[in-house]
Amino acid sequence: MNRKNKFLLYSLLLSVLVLSVVLATAIGAVAIPPGETFRIILARLTGLFTVADIPTSTQSIIWNLRFPRVLLGLLIGASLALAGVSFQGLLRNPLADPFTIGVSSGAAVGATVAMLLRQLYQFSFPHMIPLFAFVGAFLAMFFVYNLAKIGGQVPVVTLLLAGVVVSSFLSAVISLLMVFAGENMQGIFFWLSGGLIMRSWTEIWFVLPYLLIGSVILYTYARDLNVLLMGEEAALTLGVNVERTKKILLVTASLVTAAAVSVSGMIGFVGLIIPHAVRIVTGPDHRTLLPASALVGASFLIWADVVARTVMAPKEIPVGIITAFVGAPFFIYLLRKKKSEIRL
């Protein structure tokens, strides 16, 4: 992609994202005109002017309920897409996604344990579930990484296999824990299906640093990711310190995933689908692919969440179900269109 096309692409994706944020915040049980919504957000974000003409209750709905939720959707979507691109590039496998390495299963086990402790032993403290989930994700990643390590190197194939095995094992652990949970199973089920219900600014502050620092690190390694696609031996001869690069990328992408999953639960398909879809437009160059996927992932999850909370209102559907409903057919479409060959 040349400079002009890149500029056009980024302008388009950014406009779509801003528009999505405003519209998604405006949509809800109480309809608030998008113009008003935009003014409230702008006033609060910049602090340059006030919106005294709008009732405080409306302002409160926007600023304390809907906007944080939309913003969190944005952050989670961007995080998952970013991690997806990194894992696919790093593992040179089109089926890799943030969940392949076992990070999400680790988070799920952590969250399930937290919920069980709360229910069975009334043991709890603030933000217990995200914290447990994060620790679980981190432990799973650590375990998979060391399992895959052979003599100081981490071959891609063993990494994938270790990830798959550990994920399956942890899924079994979750099922077992759900048996213990008995009638309280629904809470766990809802968390596992992924959702942004009842989330607030706290979760945003939790995810944001990981996403910001993570995306900067990942972006600075974009060229190395490109070179790595040529194969590890070729990358070595092109000056990439392969093992160190793999380690850094793996840990960074896993931490970004862990942070996202720990507050949102298991939202599948975003990290798998978005990179593939974006790649069709941008090509495989990670310097465009990474930011573009983050932007698209953000908009996508915002709208998936809108559907999740409106389609059966006042009841909510877990957003992970929506992403799967949209994602699976789209993936099949890609597969057929490209004559059963999905490329990176």
Partner 1 sequence: MKVEIQDITFKYKSQKVLDDISLRISSGKFVGIIGPNGSGKSTFLKVLSRILRPVAGYVSLGEQPLEQFSQKELARTMAVVAQDTNAGYQFTVEDVVLMGRAPYLGRFQSESMADYEIVRQALQVTGCSHLRERSITELSGGERQRVMIARALAQQPKVLLLDEPTSHLDIGYQQEILDLVKRLCTTEGITVVAVLHDLNLAAYYCQELVLFHQGKIAACGLPTEVLTAENIEKVYGTRVLVSPHPVFGTPQVSLLPGMRHQGKTQQTNHIHIIAGGGSGGELMRDLYDLGYYLTAGVLSVGDSDWEAARALNLPVISEAPFSPVSPARHQEHLSMLQHAQAVILAEIPLGHGNLLNLEAALQAADWGIKVYVVEEKTEQNRDFTGGEGQKLLTQVKEKGILVTDKAQLYQALAKQFRLSHPFNELSERTNSAVN
Residues that bind partner 1 (CB under 8 A): 220-221, 223-224, 226-227, 229-231, 233-234, 236-241, 283-285, 343-344
CB of 92 to partner 1, least distance (A): 8
Q: Which of 271, 249, 250, 246 is nearest to 260 (CA)?
A: 271
| Torsion 116-118-124-129 (CA) sign | positive
Q: Which is nearer to partner 1, 51 or 156 (CB)?
A: 156
Q: Which is nearer to partner 1, 157 or 176 (CB)?
A: 157
Q: Which is nearer to partner 1, 95 or 172 (CB)?
A: 95
Task: Please check whether residue 54 is in contact with residue 61, taking contact to mean a CB–CB distance below 8 angstroms.
Answer: no
Q: Which is nearer to partner 1, 16 or 238 (CB)?
A: 238
Q: Which is nearer to partner 1, 149 or 223 (CB)?
A: 223
Task: Please check whether residue 225 is in contact with residue 249, taking contact to mean a CB–CB distance below 8 angstroms.
Answer: yes
CB of 39 to partner 1, least distance (A): 38
Angstrom distance (rounded) from CA 109 to CA 137:
8
CB of 249 to partner 1, least distance (A): 13
Task: Please check whether residue 273 is in contact with residue 265, taking contact to mean a CB–CB distance below 8 angstroms.
Answer: no
Residue 284 DSSP class: S
Per-residue CA distances from 23 to 10, 54, 141, 182, 315 (Å): 20, 18, 37, 40, 20
CB of 124 to partner 1, least distance (A): 44
CB of 10 to partner 1, least distance (A): 16
